[in-house]
Structure 1
Amino acid sequence: MNDKFMPNALMFYREVTPPEEIAHLVLSFWEFAVKSESCEPIIHEIFPDGCISILYYRHQNFVVNTLFINALTLEIFKTEVYAGDVFWGMRLSPAACAHVLRLNPAEVQPESINDSEKFAHLTEGLLEKLVACRNFEEAIKIYETQIKTLELAPRDVDGKVAEAVRIIEENSGELKISEIAKILGLSARQLERRFGKSAGLTPKQFVRARRIRAAAVSLVEETEMNWANRAAAMGFADQAHLTHEFSTLTGRSPNSFAERVKKIEYGKLVK
């Protein structure tokens, strides 16, 4: 999609598709930056996306440089961000998450991983290389090189889970889990077990998170679409069901959610 410029947006966000050779491991690379000229903090709300990211945080004066990992959650996360903050992230594919992290993704807690022993196989030397990057494009190359050192081939990832993720993404969470399982030649219980082992979430939980993301993308791309049509496009029975889901996952009404989305200027998004 083309860049979308929001009037008076104080924050910027964009995503980049990974190259084919690591697409089985990485869902996307992303950048988030705060453009405000004010010294006052901005309350930023991060909505659930059903994925784990390895992310690097820096401030433009380079005083702060930190590696983080986020946890899987279906709850909104609020944080304070400041002018000059920059985040460069690598969003892991749910199908490969357990293999990349070498542990159950459901056990991951949000934390700084600068000196983490349990993630040393993934982060050794990474912080120093990212600190030296001048821009997001250079950071992507560093992430690509780092994850290739794991030597995980497509055959090492559960192909059924990878296909389930693809189906969910392509259909914006519209299909029922039983329908996805049938397409894959699995029972719903088999899919749930395999998906949970790889991704740390049940397929239903992942679908719920991706629906919220699909709504955000829709708000950026289809600004004139009303909520009734948007609910239908996202597979909800009606607008009331969409409203209930938004309230449950984001604590906001659809219109309030839309206002938060519009506070950010968007570059390209991976669909």
Structure 2
Amino acid sequence: MSVPDLGRGVLHPRPAAAVITLARHQPAPALARVVEFYWSVRWDRRGQPPHEQPVLAHPNVHLVFEAPVARVYGVDRSLFVRRLAGAGRVLGVKFRPGAFRPFVDRPVAELADRSVPAAELFGPAVERLNTLVLGSDEDLTVEVDDFLLARLPAPDPLAERAAALVEHVTGTPDLHRVDQLAERFGLSVRAVQRLFAEYVGASPKWVLRRARLHEAAARAHEGAGVDWAALAAELGYADQAHLTRDFTAAVGLSPARYAAGGPVSS
């Protein structure tokens, strides 16, 4: 059975697909340098128990239009769990790593592991848009485009560098250490750490670890037997026990139990 394409980081994708409907939309071309995509999720649990959906978050900031108020979510360095009850929907903006910093002119690390009402950062206009988005069944991404285009900051070379570093981490399986990353970009380790705190909202070490966990979860989703010792070596872990500890600490299940369809709340 194929694995539903809910994106890396969405845990237990098969039961999740039975609960949520996920769609992705591209932003206006002028926003492509700051927004990866828009995402919308719908669910209907009326007459059924609430569903708790765990997510291993990426190093991205999100602007989410939801009830009761729109919120900005910083990078969640633990396990993010969304409780879905009744019927509802949300529309989210997934900013590229580093790209949210120029919108707010403050270190993105201040948002780590928390969310704030979007009006605190974007003013009351964002709540008017939130009411419009939630009050319509139509695709209102054009209105979100207009909202962001009116506030689009000038290109920031440091934001672009942060995005390039994160993209290199997530796209380079043999990259395992921060000093390797720094060397490949001609930076000091301290410079990389400062850049990530200011623009990404999580440390480079965390981003490296999270990329490895995303890969481990993706392998588990494939359904075939996984050679965990070989995967641990491939991902740069000292041994299988190290991978098991890291994965269990993040997900709450060992890799083998997770691959076997360990417990999921619903």
Q: Same fold (TM over 0.5)?
A: yes
CA distance in 2, matches of 1:15, 1:215: 24
Residue 25 (structure 1) shift: 1.3
The 5-angstrom pairing of residues 248-263 of structure 1 reads: 248-258=249-259, 259=261
The 5-angstrom pairing of residues 1-271 of structure 1 reads: 3-4=4-5, 6=14, 9-16=18-25, 18=27, 21-36=30-45, 38-57=47-66, 64-108=67-111, 109-113=114-118, 116-120=119-123, 123=126, 125-135=128-138, 138-155=139-156, 157-171=158-172, 174-220=175-221, 222-224=222-224, 226-228=226-228, 229-258=230-259, 259=261
Residue 200 (structure 1) shift: 2.0
**CA 1:213/1:144 → structure 2, altered by over 3 Å: closer, same or farther?**
farther
Residue 38 (structure 1) shift: 3.3
Q: Contact 1:122–1:150 (CA<8 Å) still a contact in 2?
A: no
CA distance in 2, matches of 1:127, 1:193: 34
Secondary structure in 1 aligned to 2:39? strand
CA distance in 1, matches of 2:258, 2:22: 16
1:6-28 Cα offsets, whole Å, 9 max, x none, are 37822344545556532331233
Count of residues in correspondence between the two structures: 253
Q: Contact 2:101–2:159 (CA<8 Å) still a contact in 1?
A: no
Residue 203 (structure 1) shift: 1.0
Fraction of identical pairs, as percent: 20
Secondary structure in 1 aligned to 2:141? helix
Q: Contact 1:11–1:36 (CA<8 Å) still a contact in 2?
A: no
Q: TM-score, normalised by structure 1?
A: 0.76
Residue 55 (structure 1) shift: 0.9
Structure 1 runs not aligned, ≥5 long: 58-63, 265-271
Structure 2 runs not aligned, ≥5 long: 6-12
Q: Contact 1:67–1:127 (CA<8 Å) still a contact in 2?
A: yes
Higher relative contact order (CA 8 A, sep 6+): 1
Deviates more, 1:250-259 or 1:91-100: 250-259
Alpha-carbon RMSD: 3.4
Q: Contact 1:30–1:88 (CA<8 Å) still a contact in 2?
A: yes
Q: TM-score, normalised by structure 2?
A: 0.77
**CA 1:56/1:158 → structure 2, altered by over 3 Å: closer, same or farther?**
closer
